[in-house]
Structure 1
C-alpha cells in the first residue's frame, strides 16, 4: 500500500476501464442484432410462404446488383 503516483489513473478514467466499456458495448450491440433477428429466422423456418417470398426477394436483390 504505497503512495500512487499522480499520473497513475484508477477507476473510470483508466485505460483498462475504457477498453472494457468498449468490449461490453460491442458485445451488447452484437447480442441486440442476434436478438432482433431471432423472430425472422424462426418465422423463416416455420412458414413455407415466407420462405418462398424471402428466396424471391433475395433473387431479385442479387439480380438488381449485377
Structure 2
C-alpha cells in the first residue's frame, strides 16, 4: 500500500504545480527540479500532471498508484 495520498498530490499540483512540489512529494526529485526551473514546463507539464492525477494514472517514484 502506498503512503502517498492522491488528494494531497492533487492539491499540491493545483496550488504549487509550477514549482513541482507534487513531484517532490511523491519522490520524483529529478523531475521536480526540472519543473521548478521551467515553471512547470510553462504550465503545460503541470496541466498534464493534473489530468494524470485526476484520472489515477500518476504514480510515485516506485511506480505504485497513489492511495485514495
- State the TM-score, normalizing by the size of structure 2: 0.29
TM-score (norm 1): 0.29
Greater RCO (CA < 8 Å, at least 6 residues apart): 2
Higher helix proportion (structure 1 or 2) = 1
